[in-house]
Amino acid sequence: MSQPILERSRTDDTQHSGGCPFHADLTETPELAELSQDDWLFLPMHKRTIAQYVTNETGATELRLYYEDKEISFDEPELFAFGENLAKQASFPAISATGWGQGYDWPVVKDLLEELILQGILQTTNPAPAPKMAQTGANHLLPTAPAQSPRTWFECEAIMAELTGRPVELGYLELMIPVFRVAHIAVDNEGRQVGESNVFPKPLRVEVATEWTTCPYPGSRYQNERPMNLTALKSMGQHWLPAIAALLQIRAAYLRRFPEARAGWTVGHLERLSALVLAVPAYQLMKTAPRVANGELHPVLSSMYRVTDGVRMTTHQMLFLPVVETTLAPDAPMTAQGIYDYAERNYVFQSAHGVCAGPRKMIEEFLGVLVDGTTLAGMDDVPQAPEVAAALDALPAALDYGLYGLQAHAIAFSVWPLMSRHYEELWTILDTWPNVDSERFNAFKALVQTQIKQLQSKSLIASEAWRADREKVYADMYQKTCEGLGLTANADSLAERIAPPAVSAYHRIAEAQLRGILSTQFGRPAYEAAAFERLIRCLMKYFRREQGILAAAEQTQQAINRLLGRPQPEREFSAADLNIYNLLLGEVQRIPHIGEVFEQLFHVEIRVTKSNIDIREHG
């Protein structure tokens, strides 16, 4: 029998880590004293061990154990019983492992256990007890809330000015804040923000009295230093049945728009369904009239939002995060069990400040309703509050809002794969440029080189394969929203919709402006190089591509505004406004918008809108 394979080192912060493969270097491992049958072995915090059967790339079944940052694969069926039993042990005498399953010979068990000791999974001495964690109280990992009072997006222009320095009108909200996050800052009638401790943007989170407790559930959350929100769990329990009943109505409405999902759910369908569930309370909060005022959202709707957002985040990670696992295509089949298993092994139940408070039974019950349409006992006997009934009566408009919002998201976020390609093209030009004695040129070259290194080492669009995967998801998101909105008769593909405009007179004027400014800034040795014209063409090509995105984005946003009864904006949306989402992320490392680079280095403003490109120096 072969040894278990330690496939890779995992992290409990997969959303931000590189997820590098683990390569055990046994030449650096201290010699292990020969294991005897009477030795006791210890698996610290064994309740964190997750055992899952998977089908590997060859179609064979494997048993995988996920323990702390390790992933252990058993690919021989005769070892499955060994792996299953190992996951259940806090401590055991080595010889007892020979009795697991149908039984194993001692030499086989000895080799397996010694390998697990070498890899740091099993220990030969009883580890010190874990520090006793407070059972209830405050969350020491959660910073003091920045906001003094709740805000609403009807203050959009003022909020954006405060947080980003760009006073952008409410009529562009869904191009800056993804529709599935619009409701985050709202307060329900229990006085709690919909986004709880994960409110986006972070500066708009308000302080709310909350009881936190250490998580007792086996799995990735067990005894984690991040506590769970006990107050939210209690509220969820109070509103569980009416929230589930509302969820079933939304699911049925979704299937009427996407009947093919009846034959089997896909990752794309489940991400879309969960996003549309979140759009139901968001629509109530954002429509002009009659509008649910801040502080009056019914807790059935806020509870439904919070529990469904977990599925939205999980399926979103499946589609977009190629860090620890390969991303899945939008049409990849998915089940309720598949969602739960993925969330466990990829630490989706954990956030920066806390862990999911729902016990496994409640999560599986919820997934059974959302994915399989299961009904719960007593659900039909619970009447819906008038506010919830009104929200469900407005489902057609709410689903339209969610679909247009997802369409806006697909269009607006298409700029990032595009920009990363142009950064690489810029660097190819600059890297082959002859050395010149120009302070401004060399500063520009150094800055682009720095961004390329960051792009390649810390970005989720570091490679062309990752960018192409992301664009396929956006293309599917766009196509499916068109289908759900009944717009497929003459609908273009996303690529056609965001195609750049033809070159016109104002493009030639902008190109001349850019050429004149950079030739002055770089100086003669730089602008006389043949690469100078390649640089100008690269930048102008990118600005025109931004124009295509802006034109499509504004068109979809106008449809959202009409649906909500919201006035259309007075000014055009700009390429710099597309960057607002990144600015709101705050401390997260990001690739700067190309316009920011010119502003920083050359004091040049490049304003790109759907109808113009204006390039000018300050002062």
**Alpha-carbon radius of gyration of the chain:** 27
Q: Please tell me the predicted confidence (pLDDT) of residue 29.
A: 46
* H-type alpha helices, 356-491: 360-372, 386-393, 395-412, 415-431, 439-458, 464-484
Give SS3 for 449: helix
Q: Please tell me the predicted confidence (pLDDT) of residue 251.
A: 98
Q: Please tell me the predicted confidence (pLDDT) of residue 259.
A: 98
Q: Please tell me the predicted confidence (pLDDT) of residue 379.
A: 87
Q: Please tell me the predicted confidence (pLDDT) of residue 56.
A: 86
* H-type alpha helices, 224-265: 230-238, 240-257
Q: What is d(CA 509, CA 225) in angstroms, rounded to the nearest whole number? A: 58
Each as own residue / partner, the long-range contacts of residues 555-562 (CB below 8 Å, 24 or more positions apart, any chain) are 556/404, 556/407, 556/408, 556/411, 557/171, 557/172, 557/174, 557/175, 557/408, 559/404, 560/174, 560/401, 560/404, 560/405, 560/408, 561/171
* Under 8 Å between Cβ of 376 and 241: yes
* Under 8 Å between Cβ of 492 and 446: no
The encoded tokens of residue 597 equal: 């680079």
How many Å separate Cα 458 from the centre of its chain? Answer: 15
pLDDT along the chain (619 residues), means of 10: 57 36 36 86 94 90 92 93 96 97 95 92 83 65 91 98 97 98 98 95 95 93 92 95 97 98 98 99 97 97 97 97 92 98 94 93 97 92 94 98 99 96 95 90 93 87 92 98 90 95 97 94 84 95 98 98 98 96 80 86 94 89
In 3-state terms the chain splits into helix, strand, coil percentages (rounded to 5) of 55, 10, 35
CATH of domain 5-118: 3.90.930
Provide the residue ranges of all domains of the chain, joining segments of one domain with +.
5-118, 136-150+186-393, 411-617
Q: Please tell me the predicted confidence (pLDDT) of residue 128.
A: 72
Predicted TM-score (pTM) of the model is: 0.90
